Amino acid sequence: MSKKINTLWVEKYRSADLNSYVGNETIKTTVDKYIKQNDIQNFLFYGPAGTGKTTLAKLIVNNLDCEYLYINASDERGIDTIRDKVSSFAGSASFAPLKVIILDEADFLTIQGQAALRNVIETYSRTTRFILTCNFVERIIDPLQSRCQVLKIVPPTKKDVAKHLNWICNEESITHEINDLVPLVNQYYPDLRKCINTIQLSTVDGGANDLYLKIDQSILVSSNYIDKVINALSEGSKHNKIDCYNDIRQIIADANVDDFDDYPLEMVIDNKDITLSNSDVINDNIKIYDLDERQDSVKEISGDTSATLGEITSEEYHSTIKAEKPIKVVRDLATKFNIENYTKKLNIRSINDNEKLLEFYVSKYPDEFNRKSRLFLSELKRVIDRPRNASMLELSGVGFTTYKSTGVKDFYQYQYQITNFDKIIEFNGHYVIKFKANVIVNGIYLLEKYRLDELDKKYEKKERKN
């Protein structure tokens, strides 16, 4: 039976040997030496997406006399994967002289998983080698990096990318001009994988097996515009700020990013559990008010803290607040999953003075300490495909009290009325769920409100005594 040919060009033309691997000549020389010895070091390959990290890892194991295990760490990222799959494979008997474990996208491994991996690497060092790949090497703990040869996968030049794409077009007998590839390479460089996928998408059948390349400019959405913005910001610090601003706007426009909301960011609410039981935290944030009525003060002793009329002790304020998440959501109907329970942060963007854009950031990866998060993400993926009539998106109001938030002082209360669901996008490892809302309460300072309420109570007591 003949082997089925892969219809995905990105897999069909994945390099099978070092001669066809694009770029990184120095690394190819090093790897070739190890392959000839049929033994390798523990490797950590890092670099931008689509530049050949996974291809190089698979190329190595396919050219060694070895057994290998491939794990995508973005799907299996917890300590259980290391204990069960990795340790079991490394400790099992093998007829091959070497075993290799590929941990793709290792920067998604949890800290606990990375810590456990250190011991596994050392325990089975005589029989097993590890190849780790990642986009962000700074997310790999130092002890794990020190156990590997860390190699940066440098993107091939634009010329090499264009030559490789031209070769693929010739192999597929696609009628094209070299200039047809220029906008594609300029837009997606250095992501070779996306370039190949776009060529396959843009191949048109002209009939009688006549294939030609027709690239729709509207589909060329840049994936690395964020890196370009960061570079523009770093360069802009040396030049005119207005020119820098105009450059960034042009980068966003050239990237054709439809999901970018050009609304100014007002504040960022961190949705971690908050506790106000520590009196020092409150004492650092509560202002002691100096009122003209101090001569009528009524001393109240609470532990070693005294309060006069118009002053607020940390114990008094803490007694009114329980430890809880800052973001509160109002619903007309109950739902199985509440998005605020899985929200990492909430961005508030200003459309105008009365209308805001609320962005709930939910991690794309389940929390290994919360089994419900996996069920929630499964439900959210279904909602993304069919957002209409999704109960988890039927919010009527959102409110929160600021505490250690970005862009606003502590202990201010905000409330918004949801007008409509906007959209869900994927950004930097998160699902961003967006709603438009009208302002109901726009920053009431709770400590001032509490102070006034306390004054009213004390004046009422004083008047009753008189």
pLDDT, position 307: 36
Alpha carbon distance 209, 413 (integer Å): 66
Query: How is residue 407 written in tokens?
Result: 């862009």
Q: Where are the beta strands (DSSP E) in 351-429?
A: 355-363, 397-401, 412-427
pLDDT, position 89: 94
Q: Are 64 and 31 in contact (CB under 8 A)?
A: no
Interstrand relation of 67-72 and 99-104 (parallel, antiparallel or unpaired)? parallel
Q: Where are the beta strands (DSSP E) in 287-396?
A: 300-302, 305-307, 328-330, 343-350, 355-363
**251 in the Ramachandran plot: left (φ > 0), alpha (ψ -120 to 50) or beta?**
alpha
Chunked into runs of 10 residues, the chain (466 residues) has average pLDDT values of 64 88 88 92 91 92 93 84 92 92 91 91 94 91 93 89 90 86 83 87 77 72 65 69 75 60 84 53 43 40 37 46 75 89 92 92 81 86 80 91 84 91 85 93 80 75 72
Structural domains of the chain in order of their starting residue, each with its CATH number: 9-152 (3.40.50.300), 158-219 (1.10.8), 225-258 (no CATH), 266-274+324-448 (no CATH)
pTM: 0.53
pLDDT, position 406: 84
Instruction: Determine the Cα angle at 153 with ends 148 and 155, to 5°.
Output: 175
Tens of pLDDT, residues 217-243: 655 655 566 667 777 777 765 667 777
pLDDT, position 128: 95
**Nearest residue to 416 via CA among 437, 432, 390:** 437
Coil, strand, or helix at residue 272? Answer: coil
Number of H helices, E strands in the chain: 16, 17
Neighbours of 317 (CB within 10 A): 20
pLDDT, position 416: 95
Provide, rounded to the nearest whole percent, the portion of the chain with pLDDT above 70. Answer: 80
Query: How is residue 384 written in tokens?
Result: 């993304």
Alpha carbon distance 342, 35 (integer Å): 46
pLDDT, position 241: 72
Tens of pLDDT, residues 295-337: 444 333 333 333 333 444 444 444 444 456 789 999 988 888 8
What's the sign of the alpha-carbon dihedral 93, 94, 100, 106? negative
Alpha carbon distance 157, 159 (integer Å): 5
Alpha carbon distance 24, 92 (integer Å): 34
Neighbours of 219 (CB within 10 A): 11
pLDDT, position 466: 65
